[in-house]
Amino acid sequence: MAESHDENVTWLTQEAYDRLKAELEHLSGPGRIEIAKKIEAAREEGDLRENGGYHAAKEEQGKIEGRILQLRHILDNARVGEAPRTEGVVGPGMTVTVRFERDDEEVTFLLASREESGAPIDVYSPKSPLGAAISGKKIGEKATYTMPNGRSNTVEILEAVPYVGN
C-alpha cells in the first residue's frame, strides 16, 4: 500500500511524542487541579470585578485548555517515526538548503513539525508558506511563495538530505 502524504499528519520522533504526551497528561491532570485551586483561592478574596488574581487565573486556565486541545490534535494526527524521504527531494524530515533569489543568501534548515524543537538547527514547518512551496521540489528547482507581508519571494533548492540528528 502506498504511503499517503496527508498534510494533516505530523511526523514526530519518539522523544517528541513522549514529551508532548507527558505535557498533555500533566496539563489534563495536575495542571487543571492547580489552576482550579488558584481560581478558588482568588474567588474567596471577594469582588470578582476588581480581582486581578482571579482574572489572571481564569486567563491562565484558558491558555491551559487551549494547549490541551492543541496537544490532543497533534497527538491524534501524529505518526511516530520518520516521514518517507527521498534524497534530493524536499519533504518533512529533510535538511534543506535554499538560496533566496532576492539577496543570494543561503539558508539551511530542518523541514519538520515545530514540535521537534530542540533540534540544533532551525526548524521550518512544512505548513509554513516556504515549507509548503518547496515540498516535493528537487535540487535545482525553484519555488515562489508569498510571505506574511504579502510580498513574494523565490528560492532555489540547493540541497535536500535526510536529517540525521545531533
- Residues forming a β-bridge with 123: 110
Residue at 5 is within a domain: no
Task: Determine the pLDDT at residue 100.
Answer: 92
Looking at the structure, tell me whether residues 38 and 100 fall in a common domain. Answer: no
**pLDDT, tens digit, 9 for 90 and up, residues 35-53:** 999 999 888 887 777 888 8
Please give the residue range of the domain that contains residue 14: 10-80
Residue 135 lies in a domain: yes
pTM, whole model, 2 decimals?
A: 0.54
Structural domain includes residue 39:
yes
Using pLDDT thresholds of 50, 70 and 90, give the confidence band for residue 8: low
105 part of a folded domain? yes
What is the residue whose three cell numbers read 540541497?
Answer: 159
Please check the confidence at residue 6 and state whether its pLDDT lies above 60: no
Domain containing residue 68: CATH number: 1.10.287.180
Q: Provide the grid cell at 105.
A: 543568501
Domain contains 3: no
Q: Are 45 and 54 in contact (CB under 8 A)?
A: yes
pLDDT band at 5 (very low <50, low <70, confident <90, very high): very low
Q: Are residues 126 and 151 in the same domain?
A: yes
Residues 64, 119: one domain?
Answer: no
| Residue 85 forms part of a structural domain | no
pLDDT bucket at 95, cuts 50 / 70 / 90: confident
Q: What residues pair up with 27 in beta bridges, in sequence order?
A: none
The answer to whether residue 87 sits within a structural domain is no
Residues in the chain: 166
Computed over every residue of the chain, the mean pLDDT equals 82
How far does Cα 4 stand from its chain's mean position? 20
pLDDT score of 21 more than 60 = yes
CATH number at residue 104: 3.10.50.30
For residues 113 and 60, state if they share a domain: no
In this prediction, residue 153 has a pLDDT band, given cuts at 50, 70 and 90, of very high
32 within a domain of the structure (yes/no): yes
* Same-domain pairing of 123 and 158: yes
Mean pLDDT for 125-139 is 89
Write out the three cell numbers for 13: 520522533
Specify the pLDDT at position 156: 95
Number of domains making up the chain: 2
pLDDT in tens, 78-92: 777 665 556 778 888
Which residue in this structure is represented by grid cell 481564569?
58
CA-based angle 115:59:72, to the nearest 5?
A: 35
Domain boundary among 54, 80, 106: 80
